[in-house]
Amino acid sequence: MFNGVIYSTGKVHNIIKTKSSLYIGIQSKLKFNQKEIGSSVCCDGVCLTLTKVKNDIIYFYISNETLKRTNFKLLKKNHIINLEKSISYGQKISGHFIQGHVDTVGKIIKLHIVDKTWILKFQILNKDYSNLLLEKASISINGVSLTISKCIKNYFEINVIPHTLKLTNLKNLKIKSLVNIELDIFSKYIQKYSV
């Protein structure tokens, strides 16, 4: 479990591709030790298992299921990744509960700046999730805890403040960029049991 408050990023150092999976190394200043191998790390919103630590590079295996649901199928060397270690008992939750189970991918269709705030409009590519979009609901974009400011059908907007832009890879987004989206866990369960 994560809370979507990002303080660290990493850079994709190497990628090993097989027919239906990836093995990646991410270079980061976020410190890990050998005892943390096997622990969960949120990488651009995706919960991945740490498989190896060597100096400042951390390694992860990415399965075919993850590749199908996320933007990792487009991953390239030197790509900047948002990183968050899993939260521990008693830790302050500043964002919202994020599982790292990405639901779908979204595409940026509009970006404009008001003062220093970025306003991003997304199209959610899997329309089956459109009914879970709700104004003022929490949403995870590349692992960052954000709030939906407006939604119409399968489109929604978020506002990103300068502090968040400074600490995350959201500042690198452009029109047509694809992002990993995890919808609010509570919305999903309420929808499930109200049908």
> pLDDT for 28-71, tens place per residue?
999 999 999 999 999 999 999 999 999 999 999 999 999 999 99
CA 185 → CA 49, 141, 178, distances in Å?
Answer: 21, 14, 21
C-alpha–C-alpha distance, residues 113 and 173, integer Å: 13
pTM score, two decimals? 0.93
CA 164/CA 13 separation, integer angstroms: 24
| Three-class secondary structure of residue 21 per DSSP | coil
Number of helices and strands in the chain (H, E): 3, 12
CB 58 within 8 A of CB 8: no
| pLDDT 10s digits, 167-195 | 999 999 999 999 999 998 777 767 766 66
Domain 8-85 grouped into CATH 2.40.30.20: yes
**Whole-number pLDDT of residue 194:** 67
Q: What is the pLDDT of residue 192?
A: 66
**Rounded average pLDDT over 117-141:** 93
- Mean pLDDT, rounded, for 20-27: 96
DSSP per residue, 104-145: EEEEEEEEEEETTEEEEEEEESSGGGGGG--TT-EEEETTEE
Q: Thinking of the domain 104-194, which architecture would CATH place it in? A: Beta Barrel (2.40)
Better pLDDT: 190 or 25: 25
Residues of the chain with CATH 2.40.30.20: 8-85, 104-194
29, containing H or E segment:
none
